[in-house]
Amino acid sequence: MSTQILNPDTPVLGYWSGVRSVFSLEMKQRLRSRSWYVLLIVWFVVIGLVATLTALSSSSSAGPRGPVLYELILGFILFFGLLLAPALSANAVNGDRAAGTLAILQVTLLRPGQILAGKWLASWVASLGFLVASIPFLLLALALGGVRPLSAVVALVMLGVELGIVCAVGVGVSALAARPLFSIVVTYMLVAMLGLGTLITFGLSTFLTEGKLQATAASYANTGTGMGEVTCTGELTEITVAHTERIAWILAPNPFVVVADSIPVTPQSDENGANPSGVMEGISYVVRLAQAGPEYTTECLNGEPRQGGSQPDVPPIWPLGLTLQAALAALLVFLGRRKLRTPVRNLAAGTRIA
């Protein structure tokens, strides 16, 4: 009788077959739980309430009501999605470890990467269910007019990508941390760091970029309908400015910046030049002003009026932000994969194996 010895490095189970097995198991467990359905109903009711109140409040406006509803719905979906995704992913691994079921997967032919990939995909699909539930309200914004269908499609894609990145961060932290509560808190802290942390860091870093420029006083001609043309008067004086173009990259990984900067502008913004028509477009415009720096924002730099009505000629910042977010998620998943290798030599105190 001959005995065949398998090389431990030889794959005995197809990678995607293993991922599909873990994904199927995770989805069955999530669909059996009532909490997911309760959260989905609450999500639908809250977004629907916001959409209804926004549509009613903007009914008296002269222009199309679609952009107002569209921008507000996008902001709410992203905000609530960033709160929901960590709850769906940050206990995916250590929750099974605490229940003693993770070891059952580890002793099978599944590899650590397959386990993490399957759990990440299940968390992502579960979070995408909430995004799908929001589509009717985005369609309502399209029906009210003033919104490009391409803009809505890009927004949905970017929102889905952001949810996927946050879920990957949560799964990675869940594999690294021994306690589910700790991993959930850490994931929320990382999301807060990307959101509020980038804004605070950018604001506190502006004094490090202060410099001197020559400019004159600016006056505006009143035409009776608002601000007129800018007139530069007086002698050149030295003013202190912040060269925000040097630190604008700090804002790049902010989820709101990534989504807002990737969305094509609405027709109203094209007609009005540099005037944004909503919150998300306003975020993109402000970030691009920071990228342009004081040479663009100073009204009478070197005694010459700034040409208004045009977007700053700077490259979009969202590809950099998406790359930084993906790098953070990939690093956490890579470190978490090492924690799932068997046999385990060192365990945290009180950690349950099976």
Give the DSSP per-residue string, 39-66.
HHHHHHHHHHHHHHHHHHHTTT-SS-SH
Host H or E run for residue 88: helix 66-89
Residue 11 in this model has a pLDDT that exceeds 60: no
Dump pLDDT digits (tens) for 269-280. 554 455 566 788
Dump pLDDT digits (tens) for 202-238. 999 998 998 888 887 777 766 554 455 777 877 888 8
User: How crowded is the C-beta side of 336, counted as CA atoms within 13 Å?
Assistant: 30
Average pLDDT, the chain: 83
Q: What percent of the residues of the chain are helix, what percent strand, and what percent coil, each to the nearest 5?
A: 65, 10, 25
Q: How many CB atoms lie within 10 A of CB 113?
A: 16
The contacts of residue 329 (CB under 8 Å, 6+ apart) are: 165, 168, 169, 172
**pLDDT recorded at residue 197:** 95
**pLDDT recorded at residue 3:** 43
Report field, pTM of the whole predicted structure over 0.75: yes
Distance CA 342, CA 345 (A): 8
Can you state the angle between helices 135-143 and 66-89, rounded to 10 degrees? 170
The contacts of residue 112 (CB under 8 Å, 6+ apart) are: 106, 337, 338, 339, 340, 341
Distance CA 346, CA 117 (A): 24
**pLDDT recorded at residue 5:** 46
- Percentage of the chain lying above the pLDDT 90 cut: 37
Distance CA 204, CA 214 (A): 24
pLDDT band (50, 70, 90) for residue 259: very high
Q: How many CB atoms lie within 10 A of CB 329?
A: 22
Dump pLDDT digits (tens) for 315-346. 999 999 999 999 999 999 999 888 887 666 66
**Do 307 and 273 meet the contact criterion of CB atoms below 8 Å apart?**
no
What residue ranges do the domains of the chain occupy? 15-195+322-339, 205-297
**Do 216 and 224 meet the contact criterion of CB atoms below 8 Å apart?**
no
Question: Where would I find the beta strands (DSSP E) of 189-305?
Answer: 210-222, 227-242
- Amino acid residing at 41: I
**Do 59 and 101 meet the contact criterion of CB atoms below 8 Å apart?**
no
